[in-house]
Chains A and B, each alone.
Chain A
Amino acid sequence: MEEKVIYMLSAVAVGWAVTFALRALPFALFAGRGRNPPQGVERFGKVVSPVVIAGLVVYSYSTLDAGGGPAWLTPWPYLAGALTVALQLAFRNSLASIVAGTALYMSLLSFSGCSSLPDSIELDSRHPVLSISGSSVKFADRLVSFNKVPRLLKSYDVPYDRPIHILAEGDLHDLRPARQLMAVLCKAGYTRPVLVRERHTESMTVERDAHERGMRGSPMAPPPPERRR
């Protein structure tokens, strides 16, 4: 918790410092000396800025995640992007374009069944559902934040007393992220997180939302303790 706070503080400070430095650059360069900026500078900016933004469009497309795989392999982000650009060209209302595009993308994702997670997970120490490398956590091979992990486990109806294996990948010089994840799990009621270095054998499959599918009470997923809901 404390580390995250310090990290957030420094992240905000870094973001501010870079942004402010960019904004102050023209003033630092030209204000003091009473010189006027050369004509070329503004023209340069007008050429470079769209190029940078175009790069950002490509980059942000590549980071979109439609569950099992990257979203840029599906048509959904392109349809939503086309709607955004078309609305912006027609009405020049940035907010409306962004909201409409995002709403279309969100509904396409949910209707296409591009669920962001698999239907079932293996709670198997050979294929641990959780893995940690450096300071990033993966749930079913999907990068997630620490605090999301308990919610995800809950959505699969994982019993609280079930050992949850966390695969430590790479060399663990810094144990703090792993400890933080285990603390998060313990705090949420999952009392038996286990940090493993290698994959072992012992298998169990848990269906997602087994409760809603009437799977509750099956031998695969024993009824969870009282505090569950």
Chain B
Amino acid sequence: MLRQFSRQGGRGARFAVFSRAVVDTLPILMGYSTMGFAAGVLMSVESGAPFAPLWAGLSAFAFVSGTLSFAIVPALASSESLVHIAVLALCVNFRYAFYGFSMIGRWKNIPLLQKLFLVHSLADEIYALDVACAVEDPAMNRFYCLCNHALSVMYWVCGTTLGAVAGAALPIPSKGIEFAMVALFLVIFTDQMRDAWKKR
């Protein structure tokens, strides 16, 4: 692995890969920070939890899943049982169980902590970028994935926390805001249908 680094130009190559990840994650910056903002507002307005921004940020980092961040809010508001929440998480994030298959080969021989982080943050858009990554050198490819995951998670957590702060501080009209979750499911479903249609 070391030899490959030096052949590629060491630190310079890493920087090149990093800046590429920064550019590639720009759409994610737009999407995650605003979606996160919406999830944060929803959480602070609806969940009825004390210190909403703290919970919004913590759960955003723990889930790295917009779907769950939206879907869990009504359950939190009515203090549903933990079993209910587990089933909810299982249902809304079922699709994540299939993302890892295409990453097994690529993420072999990664230090455990890095691998845990990569698996922990394997969400829709992040996964799409990983798959589309054109860096051929395996070590550099993994470094690209790490940069991609770290940057995207940062955008997501920051967006959610800011949204929760704003939701708690500003009188944001919120009646009907829970439709955002329905719309999110509709959008995911529409994309899945389109992909299935294209492959025919």
**Does A46 sit at the interface, judged by CB under 8 A?**
yes
Q: How far is the CA of A26 from the CA of B75 in the complex (A)?
A: 29
**Looking at chain B's contact residues, is the secondary structure mostly helix, strand, loop, or mixed?**
helix
B191 touches A88 (CB 8 A): yes
A60 within 8 A of B: yes
Chain A positions 79 through 110: 1 when the CB is less than 8 Å from some CB of chain B, otherwise 0: 01100110011001011011101100110111
- B68 near A15 (CB under 8 angstroms)? yes
CB-based contact B62/A136 at 8 Å: no
Count of interface residues, chain B, beta-carbon cutoff 8 Å: 73
The CA-CA distance from A52 to B177 in the complex, in Å, is 23
How many Å lie between the Cα of A45 and that of B35 in the bound state? 26
A147 at interface by CB-CB < 8 Å:
yes
> Are A57 and B182 closer than 8 Å at their CB atoms?
yes
Which B residues have a C-beta under 8 Å from some C-beta of A? 30-31, 34-35, 38, 46-50, 55, 58-59, 62-65, 68, 71-72, 74-79, 82, 85-86, 89-104, 107-108, 115, 119-120, 122, 173, 175-194, 196
Excluding A22-B93, A94-B184, 8 further A-B contacts by CB distance (< 8 Å) are: A5-B50, A19-B89, A22-B96, A23-B97, A31-B104, A50-B192, A52-B95, A65-B178
A residues with a Cβ closer than 8 A to B are 1, 4-5, 7-8, 10-20, 22-27, 30-31, 37, 41-42, 44-46, 48-50, 52-57, 60-61, 63-65, 77, 80-81, 84-85, 88-89, 92, 94-95, 97-99, 101-102, 105-106, 108-110, 116, 135-136, 143-148, 177
